[in-house]
Structure 1
Amino acid sequence: MIKPINRDVNILRQVSQPASKADLPVAQDLRDTLTANANRCVGMAANMIGVTKRIIIASLGPLQVVMFNPQIVAKSGPYQVQEGCLSLSGQRSTTRFQKIRVRFTNEQWEQQELTLTAFPAEIIQHELDHCNGILI
């Protein structure tokens, strides 16, 4: 179901709680909401739709990848970038890493790891900031 975008900074600043199998339906809500906002958004965290759980989705090329309880396990190549956010107005400067390795649980509740570079890595870092209550 397409959900409204949360703009309440008090909710967005909360650290998200670990996700469980009971949170699997949130993946479809994130997919539907990201698809509805595809012209202005490439990733979302669950708190952007009012769910304070560690769940993100990212458009990685033609695929929308949902990650439960993602964590960055390696990173290299820091750089400065200007980013915008669907939940906030304007753009802000932040530090990102050119290359990351992220560990997560997929929708089949299997552990996965992906190594990402450039813009896909930036998307994941932005969404993980949301999970950690960090607003750029």
Structure 2
Amino acid sequence: MVKKIVKDPLFLQQKSEPATTADKQVIVDLLDTLEANKERCVGMAANMIGVKKQIIVVAAGPFMFAMVNPVITAKKGEYKTEESCLSLEGSRPCTRYEEIEVDYLDENFNKKHGKYTGFTAQIIQHEIQHFSGDLI
């Protein structure tokens, strides 16, 4: 189900908790909401739809995928950039990495490990940052 985008900074600054199999509907809702906003959004974290769980969804070209409880395990190629967020007005400076490795669970809660580069890596880093409550 497509959900409303949360824009309340006080809510967005709260830390997210690890997701469990009881949160499967959140994955569906996030994918639906990302699809509905694909013209202006390339990734979402669960707190953007009002759920403080460690779930993100990413649009990489024509594909959309979920990452549950993702943890960045390696990173290299630090660079500075500016990003915007569907939940916030304007853009902000940030530090990202050109290449990352991530351990996560897929939408069926199977363990996965992925290596990502470029813009997809940047999206994943942005969305994972939402878990800490640090506004981008």
Residue 108 of structure 2 corresponds to residue 108 of structure 1: yes
Structure 1 residues 9-24: aligned runs within 5 Å: 9-24=9-24
Q: Aligned residue for 1:63?
A: 63
RMSD over equivalenced CA pairs, Å: 0.6
Secondary structure (helix, strand or coil) at the match of 1:97 reads strand
* Distance in structure 1 (CA, Å) of the matches to 2:25 and 2:121: 25
* Distance in structure 1 (CA, Å) of the matches to 2:134 and 2:62: 28
Q: Aligned residue for 1:5?
A: 5
Q: Aligned residue for 1:86?
A: 86
* Distance in structure 2 (CA, Å) of the matches to 1:104 and 1:14: 21
Secondary structure (helix, strand or coil) at the match of 2:22 reads helix
Q: Aligned residue for 1:73?
A: 73
Shift of the alpha carbon at 1:16?
0.2
One-letter amino acid of the counterpart of residue 128, structure 1: I
Secondary structure (helix, strand or coil) at the match of 2:14 reads coil
* Distance in structure 1 (CA, Å) of the matches to 2:82 and 2:67: 24
Output one character per residue of 1:28-74: Cα deviation in whole Å (capped at 9) or x when no partner. 10011001110100000000000000000001222111011001000
Structure 1 unaligned spans of 5+: none
Residue 132 of structure 2 corresponds to residue 132 of structure 1: yes
* Distance in structure 2 (CA, Å) of the matches to 1:68 and 1:23: 10
Structure 1 vs Structure 2: percent identity of aligned residues?
A: 50
* Distance in structure 1 (CA, Å) of the matches to 2:37 and 2:131: 20
Shift of the alpha carbon at 1:7?
0.5
* Distance in structure 2 (CA, Å) of the matches to 1:114 and 1:11: 30
Output one character per residue of 1:5-42: Cα deviation in whole Å (capped at 9) or x when no partner. 00011111111001000001101100110011101000
* Distance in structure 2 (CA, Å) of the matches to 1:31 and 1:108: 14
Aligned length: 136
Structure 2 unaligned spans of 5+: none
* Distance in structure 2 (CA, Å) of the matches to 1:40 and 1:99: 24
Q: Calculate the TM-score normalised by the size of structure 2.
A: 0.98
Q: Which runs of 4+ in 1 moved over 4 A?
A: none
